Amino acid sequence: MQKYALPPYKIKMVEPISLIGKDERVKRLKEAGYNPFRLRSEDVYIDLLTDSGTGAMSHFQWAALMQGDESYAGSRSYYRLEKVVKDITGYNYILPAHQGRGAEQVVIPELVVHDNMCFISNIHFDTTRAHVEIAGARAIDCVIPECFEISKYHPFKGNFDLKKLEQIILEKEAKNIAGIIMTITNNSAGGQPVSMENMRAVNVIAKKYGITLLIDGARYAENSFFIKKREAGYENKTIREIAKEVFDLADIFLMSAKKDGLVNIGGIIAIKDNFELFQKCQTNIVPKEGFPTYGGLAGRDMDALAVGLQEALEESYLAYRIDEVRYLGDLLREAGIPIQYPTGGHAVFVDCGEIAPHIPFDQFPAQAVSNALYIEGGIRPVEIGSLLLGRDPDTRKNIKADKEFMRLTIPRRTYTMEHLRYVAECLISVYKNRKDLKGLEFTYESPILRHFTAEFKPVE
Ligand code: F0G
């Protein structure tokens, strides 16, 4: 029995990458204002910034691109995508969008029907939160506390805190809840899965109070795989059957298809049976994304997506995918590096608050470790901590994150275990020299979404 699953594909096309010299990396990082977001990808050897739109397509998908029907309205490509999404979800109404946030900007405002409304999620992803706030509502997170006990095993750290969920509904009153959003997997806490049992309980609560239930399902296939592996009663079901059972529980499915759609661009809106809402979204999508049968995508994009959605439900693909993440996590843990454990679906989250306790939160320990990893090995991670959180809009003070995470995000079907072993070796070397890490102070900071463009200098 293999310790880690084997890859169910071989390599047919390669994209050369190269590691520039260490002096060069030091120079490039300085030019980038000590912010990996500002690096050029040609100066990066292994890019672990995101798993979004960075994966490799299969030869079936490349072949499907050639079938793209570039008609403005009613293209064959749309109908092929519609059929696949209907088959997977069982939902009636399907609209494409250019990516996840495109889907959000079409649907979320339609659910905010009066003032003082809020959404409740296990944890809202950043863009989801932004669209909730732009629509004039508030975003409340409601994940189980075990989510933040990073070294303690829990099979479903993405679960809703059910007691708290009901308390919030009673406190705010059901009429003021615009929707409950199940983020599967729960990206912001380490791609942590949500169990079927928990989703079923959320569904019962939503029904009891008449609240719309949404799935933010960028990584729904990975979540389904975890259910199969970790939840009793699902071991003999197919990933597709499990996913269908999940969709049966909700009313709306929003998807950034750049993850489990296995494409470089794309998004999906699927509505189970609310025809009135579908009509509103159909109207809303035109000025925002495009005509309802293309929604910001080329016909060829929709064809690649129709194939990718099906490939992402193959168990052999998911087994290797999830094991790549687990493999990297195991190597780091064996070296004593603190990570969110167990590893989730798409990334290893490293606790840099613990690695560099001498760096105050507002000098961004996870950004310091990320920069050191770039210098060490040309690897680009991303900070998910106090830098990302930003400032309190009223006091302008830096908000302190629960955890100063560095996310090592693994693109799909892109890197081999060999690449990941190298990543682990480089991070272990940074970890050994952790006392030398220095905090960062701003030389430029934009008023919102500062992490993308900020520039720093090391604190001496
Ligand atoms: N929802 C979740 C759970 C996500 O992780 C993302 C994107 C989105 C929605 C928005 O989708 O990027 O296609 O517009 N996550 C990426 C990431 C950007 O790096 O985690 P999008």
Residue located nearest, by CA, to atom 16 of ligand 1: 52
Task: Give the contacts of 371 (CB within 8 A, at least 6 positions apart).
Answer: 29, 34, 36, 440
The answer, yes or no, to whether any atom of ligand 1 lies below 6 A from the CB of 267, is yes
Q: Mean pLDDT for each consecutive 10-residue tract of the chain (460 residues)?
A: 93 96 98 98 98 98 98 98 98 98 98 97 94 94 96 97 98 98 95 98 98 98 98 98 98 98 98 98 97 98 98 98 98 98 97 97 98 98 94 89 96 97 98 97 92 95
**What spacing in Å lies between the alpha carbon of 309 and ligand 1's midpoint?**
16
The answer, yes or no, to whether any atom of ligand 1 lies below 6 A from the CB of 331, is no
Cα–Cα distance measured from residue 123 to residue 405, given in angstroms and rounded to the nearest whole number: 15
Annotated domain spans of the chain: 22-51+314-458, 59-311
Cα–Cα distance measured from residue 143 to residue 145, given in angstroms and rounded to the nearest whole number: 6
The answer, yes or no, to whether any atom of ligand 1 lies below 6 A from the CB of 128, is yes
Instruction: Answer whether CATH 3.90.1150.10 is correct for domain 22-51+314-458.
Output: yes
Residue located nearest, by CA, to atom 21 of ligand 1: 100
Q: Which atom of ligand 1 is nearest to the CA of 53?
A: 13
The answer, yes or no, to whether any atom of ligand 1 lies below 6 A from the CB of 218, is yes
Helix axes 162-172, 196-209, angle to 10 degrees: 20
pLDDT at 460: 85
pLDDT at 105: 98
pLDDT at 1: 78
- Helix (H) or strand (E) holding 166, with range, is helix 162-172
Let me know if the fold of 22-51+314-458 is the same as that of 59-311: no
Ligand 1: residue of 51, 134, 187 to mutate (most ligand atoms within 8 A of CB) is: 187
Task: Give the contacts of 16 (CB within 8 A, at least 6 positions apart).
Answer: none
Structure tokens at 60: 């079936």
Structure tokens at 196: 């079927």
Whether 132 contacts 220, CB under 8 Å: no
Residue located nearest, by CA, to atom 20 of ligand 1: 50
Point out the residues that are catalytic. 72, 125-126, 216, 218, 259, 451
**What spacing in Å lies between the alpha carbon of 460 and ligand 1's midpoint?**
35
**Phi, psi angles (nearest 5°) of residue 440:** -130, 145
Using H for helix, E for strand and C for coil, what is the string for 195-207?
A: CHHHHHHHHHHHH
CB atoms within 10 A of CB 287: 8
The answer, yes or no, to whether any atom of ligand 1 lies below 6 A from the CB of 284, is no
Cα–Cα distance measured from residue 235 to residue 220, given in angstroms and rounded to the nearest whole number: 17
Structure tokens at 57: 């397509």
The answer, yes or no, to whether any atom of ligand 1 lies below 6 A from the CB of 99, is yes
Cα–Cα distance measured from residue 107 to residue 98, given in angstroms and rounded to the nearest whole number: 14
Residue located nearest, by CA, to atom 1 of ligand 1: 125
The answer, yes or no, to whether any atom of ligand 1 lies below 6 A from the CB of 256, is yes
- Topology of domain 59-311, CATH: Aspartate Aminotransferase; domain 2 (3.40.640)
Residue located nearest, by CA, to atom 8 of ligand 1: 100
pLDDT at 448: 81
The answer, yes or no, to whether any atom of ligand 1 lies below 6 A from the CB of 187, is yes
**What spacing in Å lies between the alpha carbon of 204 and ligand 1's midpoint?**
27
Residue located nearest, by CA, to atom 5 of ligand 1: 187
CB atoms within 10 A of CB 64: 21
